[in-house]
Structure 1
Amino acid sequence: MASGKRDKIKMSPEEIAAFLDESFKVQVATIGKDGEPHLVTMFYALLEGRIAFTTYRSSQKVLNLRRDPTMTCLVEDGVQYSELRGVALYGTGRIVEDMDELMKVGVVVGSRMAGLPVPKVGEPVDPAFAEGVRQAMSKRVLVVMEPDRIVSWDHAKA
């Protein structure tokens, strides 16, 4: 794609933030032990503006990140070419085991998965629901995407 066209469809920082805030599925790529990409789709929440998701501490993506923290995330949308939008984040996956941080993301993602109204990160929720999430988080870690580079596109701008 020519540089002029590329610049025309690039999202502004505000558009990127809004797009990531309205989305909830991310494709996560880590590097496997033999160098091959390991790609999965996860539900996420934004934690201080960063993509964050919980996963089992023994999952392949966590094993990969402990060996090599390199991670790429892709959030995309659209069906027709003229509707395609996306944000690719290149950087590192930071593993967090602090229960308070896990709960912030776990409650948001858990609400979405349970079909409940989705709170913003840090908003209070029903104590019984929170306790169920806390139990589920006991076997999980939080992964936070720390981007070094962000690439975006919105073909509706073309």
Structure 2
Amino acid sequence: MTDTQRRGRRIMMTPRERDTFLAGQRTCRVATVSADGTPHVSPLWFVWDGTSLWLYSLARSRRWADLRADGRVAVVVDAGEAYGELRGVELSGRVAFVGESPRTGEECPELDAVEREFARKNFGMAEMVHDGRHAWARLTPDKIASWDFRKLADL
């Protein structure tokens, strides 16, 4: 994974800042491309495990069909309203599909911690409830860029 940026080094998040930010956010924006070249961006809940971004998507969505046809993806997680509050992370690479699709709860040790965290973070529950409509894709990014405009106040 590339974690360096040419521009904006002054406002780049440290790995610890990035991990804390991603752990605290709920919604990301996922950019895919359809087979005909049409771009598509959609919001989605996620979990960050310190290495990978885990995307929990409807298995019968345009986003999922796009990812199945071409696993390349770009994802943005951002926050802030005023210019001096803006912060975020952009991650890109290829997704890997984990577990059955759609997910019905079959044993999958790789998803144990991810699903516990997703259930806690988004539903305040101790374990995941599987609805048979969603599935998991894991993005272990090739590239990461980050920014935190609040650091500009320190200059």
TM-score over 0.5 (shorter chain): yes
Identify which of 106, 109, 121 aligns with 2:118: 109
Alignment of 1:1-158 (within 5 A): 6-47=8-49, 49-97=51-99, 99=106, 100=108, 101-102=110-111, 104-114=113-123, 116=124, 125=126, 130=128, 133=129, 135-136=130-131, 138-158=132-152
Aligned-partner Cα distance in 2 for 1:153–1:89: 12
The residue number in structure 2 matching 1:121 is: none
**Contiguous gaps of at least 5 residues in structure 1:** 118-124
Say if 1:56 and 1:104 are closer, same or farther in 2 by CA, change over 3 A.
farther
Aligned-partner Cα distance in 1 for 2:66–2:6: 37
Contact 2:19 2:50 in 1 (8 A): no
What amino acid sits opposite 1:145 in the alignment?
A: L
Aligned-partner Cα distance in 1 for 2:136–2:113: 10
What amino acid sits opposite 1:157 in the alignment?
A: K
The residue number in structure 2 matching 1:122 is: none
Aligned-partner Cα distance in 1 for 2:11–2:77: 16
What amino acid sits opposite 1:61 in the alignment?
A: R
Say if 1:5 and 1:32 are closer, same or farther in 2 by CA, change over 3 A.
closer
Give 1:24 deviation, angstroms. Answer: 1.4
Contact 2:98 2:136 in 1 (8 A): yes
Aligned-partner Cα distance in 2 for 1:4–1:110: 37
Contact 2:76 2:90 in 1 (8 A): yes
TM-score, normalisation: structure 1: 0.77
Give the number of equivalent residue pairs: 141
State the SS of the aligned residue for 1:147. coil
**Contiguous gaps of at least 5 residues in structure 2:** 101-105
What amino acid sits opposite 1:151 in the alignment?
A: A
Between 1:141-150 and 1:99-108, the stretch displaced more is 99-108
TM-score, normalisation: structure 2: 0.78
Give 1:145 deviation, angstroms. Answer: 1.2
Aligned-partner Cα distance in 2 for 1:79–1:65: 30
